[in-house]
Structure formats: structure tokens, C-alpha cells
Amino acid sequence: MSEKFIRIYKKFYIDEIKAHLLIYGDLGGNCAACHKMGIPLEATRCPECAAEFKYIAFRNPRVHMPKILRLQEERPEILIIDHEDYSRHTGEQKARDFLK
């Protein structure tokens, strides 16, 4: 039997994700809560605002697949969320806040 990634759909509060999210791209990780940059993938907390990372979003999951595989081995409790989904919803939220 071989294990493969299957993406799932689950409802989340975007604010809860944002408070505990590391966004990982080519230049390293960003804290979604305070926007601190250059955070290593291994970090369990933000060095700036001390947010605990429970979620990770990869900007380019295809490129970072080896990292994703290792992360799942080492920290199976962490949830990997889809970056596109996250940025679409935060974009919608920004638009709504702007119109208030």
C-alpha cells in the first residue's frame, strides 16, 4: 500500500487559521499573524509574536513536496492547508472590511 496526499475540505474560521499560520514560500516562512519574514519551516512558534504554528500553507506545494513529506513525518499534528484557499478567503475578508 502506498500513501498519497488527498486534499480535504473542512470548514475553518479564517481568523483562527491566521493567528496560527506559517506561510512558506521560496524565501522561507512568514507569520500570517504579524508578517514576520524569514522563519524556518521547523519553527513551532513565531520568534516575533510567539504565535504557535498549527497550520502551514505552502505557496508552491509541488516544488516543496519533499519538505511537506518530511514535515508530515516529523510533526503529524500540524495541518497543511491550501495557500490558494487561504489567500482567496483573506482577500474576500479584506474587501469586506474595506467596504465597512
Number of helices (H), then strands (E), belonging to the chain: the values are 3, 4
Q: Least CB distance from residue 55 to Zn ion, whole Å?
A: 13
d(CA 39, CA 2): 32
In whole angstroms, how close is the CB of 76 to Zn ion at the nearest point?
A: 23
Find the binder of Zn ion among 15, 42, 48, 74 (CB under 5 A): 48
Q: Which of 82, 80, 60, 64 is nearest to 72 (CA)?
A: 80
Is residue 54 involved in binding Zn ion (CB under 5 A)? no
Minimum distance from CB of 34 to Zn ion (Å)? 3
Question: What character string, x for contact with Zn ion (CB under 5 A) and - otherwise, covers 13-42?
Answer: ------------------x-xx-x------
Determine if 46 is a binding residue for Zn ion (CB under 5 A): yes
Non-local CB neighbours of 48 within 8 Å, separated by 6+ positions:
31, 34, 36
Cβ atoms within 10 Å, residue 61:
17
Binding site for Zn ion (CB under 5 A): 31, 33-34, 36, 46, 48-49, 51
